[in-house]
Amino acid sequence: MPHTAGDSGVIAWANGVDATLAGVRGTAGSTEITSALKVLGNVGFYGTTPVAKPVITGSRGTESAATTSTRAALVALGLVTDSTTA
Protein backbone atom coordinates (compact mmCIF):
# COMPACT_ATOMS: atom_id res chain seq x y z
CA MET A 1 0.00 0.00 0.00
CA PRO A 2 1.17 3.58 -0.56
CA HIS A 3 2.02 5.71 2.39
CA THR A 4 2.70 9.39 2.98
CA ALA A 5 6.22 10.12 4.16
CA GLY A 6 5.61 12.45 7.10
CA ASP A 7 4.31 15.90 6.23
CA SER A 8 6.51 16.23 3.14
CA GLY A 9 3.65 15.46 0.75
CA VAL A 10 5.65 12.62 -0.83
CA ILE A 11 3.82 9.42 -1.66
CA ALA A 12 6.14 6.44 -1.54
CA TRP A 13 5.37 2.88 -2.62
CA ALA A 14 6.48 -0.16 -0.70
CA ASN A 15 9.05 -2.09 -2.76
CA GLY A 16 7.42 -4.44 -5.25
CA VAL A 17 3.87 -3.92 -3.95
CA ASP A 18 1.05 -2.89 -6.29
CA ALA A 19 -1.33 -0.30 -4.83
CA THR A 20 -4.27 1.84 -5.88
CA LEU A 21 -5.31 5.04 -4.10
CA ALA A 22 -7.91 7.52 -5.41
CA GLY A 23 -6.99 7.33 -9.07
CA VAL A 24 -3.31 6.60 -8.49
CA ARG A 25 -1.92 3.21 -9.37
CA GLY A 26 1.67 2.42 -8.66
CA THR A 27 4.38 -0.12 -8.12
CA ALA A 28 7.90 0.33 -6.79
CA GLY A 29 9.12 1.49 -10.23
CA SER A 30 6.08 3.12 -11.81
CA THR A 31 3.13 5.37 -10.98
CA GLU A 32 0.11 6.12 -13.15
CA ILE A 33 -2.34 8.94 -12.49
CA THR A 34 -5.72 7.85 -13.83
CA SER A 35 -7.60 11.02 -12.98
CA ALA A 36 -6.84 14.74 -12.64
CA LEU A 37 -3.78 15.67 -10.60
CA LYS A 38 -3.25 19.00 -8.89
CA VAL A 39 0.08 19.75 -7.22
CA LEU A 40 -0.26 22.36 -4.50
CA GLY A 41 3.39 22.75 -3.56
CA ASN A 42 6.78 23.12 -5.16
CA VAL A 43 7.73 20.63 -7.90
CA GLY A 44 10.97 19.05 -9.08
CA PHE A 45 11.35 16.73 -12.08
CA TYR A 46 13.84 13.90 -12.66
CA GLY A 47 15.33 14.06 -9.18
CA THR A 48 15.85 17.83 -9.06
CA THR A 49 15.16 19.81 -5.91
CA PRO A 50 11.56 21.13 -5.94
CA VAL A 51 11.33 24.87 -6.65
CA ALA A 52 8.56 27.46 -6.54
CA LYS A 53 6.59 28.21 -9.71
CA PRO A 54 8.85 30.20 -12.08
CA VAL A 55 7.84 33.61 -13.43
CA ILE A 56 8.64 34.53 -17.04
CA THR A 57 9.65 38.17 -17.49
CA GLY A 58 10.85 40.35 -20.35
CA SER A 59 9.36 41.68 -23.57
CA ARG A 60 7.33 39.63 -26.06
CA GLY A 61 8.12 42.14 -28.82
CA THR A 62 10.50 39.98 -30.87
CA GLU A 63 9.21 36.57 -29.81
CA SER A 64 8.85 33.88 -32.50
CA ALA A 65 5.63 31.90 -33.03
CA ALA A 66 7.28 28.85 -31.45
CA THR A 67 8.26 30.82 -28.34
CA THR A 68 4.75 32.28 -28.08
CA SER A 69 3.25 28.81 -28.35
CA THR A 70 5.66 27.34 -25.78
CA ARG A 71 5.03 30.17 -23.31
CA ALA A 72 1.25 29.75 -23.70
CA ALA A 73 1.50 25.98 -23.21
CA LEU A 74 3.58 26.33 -20.03
CA VAL A 75 1.11 28.88 -18.66
CA ALA A 76 -1.86 26.64 -19.55
CA LEU A 77 -0.21 23.74 -17.69
CA GLY A 78 0.31 26.01 -14.70
CA LEU A 79 4.07 25.44 -14.78
CA VAL A 80 4.99 29.13 -15.07
CA THR A 81 3.46 32.54 -14.43
CA ASP A 82 3.56 34.91 -17.42
CA SER A 83 4.65 38.40 -16.40
CA THR A 84 5.98 39.37 -19.83
CA THR A 85 5.04 42.67 -21.47
CA ALA A 86 3.97 43.41 -25.02
Domain total in the chain = 2
33 and 45 housed in the same domain: no
Task: Look at residues 25, 44, 42 and name the one whose alpha carbon lies nearest to residue 33.
Answer: 25
85 and 53 housed in the same domain: yes
27 and 66 housed in the same domain: no
Domain that holds residue 84: 41-86
Beta-carbon count within 10 A of 8 CB? 10
27 and 54 housed in the same domain: no
Q: CA-based angle 84:73:82, to the nearest 5?
A: 20
This model's pTM is above 0.75? no
Q: Is 80 left (phi over 0), alpha (psi -120 to 50) or beta?
A: beta
49 and 82 housed in the same domain: yes
Please tell me the predicted confidence (pLDDT) of residue 1: 41
**pLDDT in 10s for each residue of the chain, 86 residues:** 444 444 444 555 555 555 556 666 766 667 777 777 777 888 888 888 888 999 999 888 888 999 999 999 999 988 999 999 98
Interatomic CA distance for residues 30 and 50, integer angstroms: 20
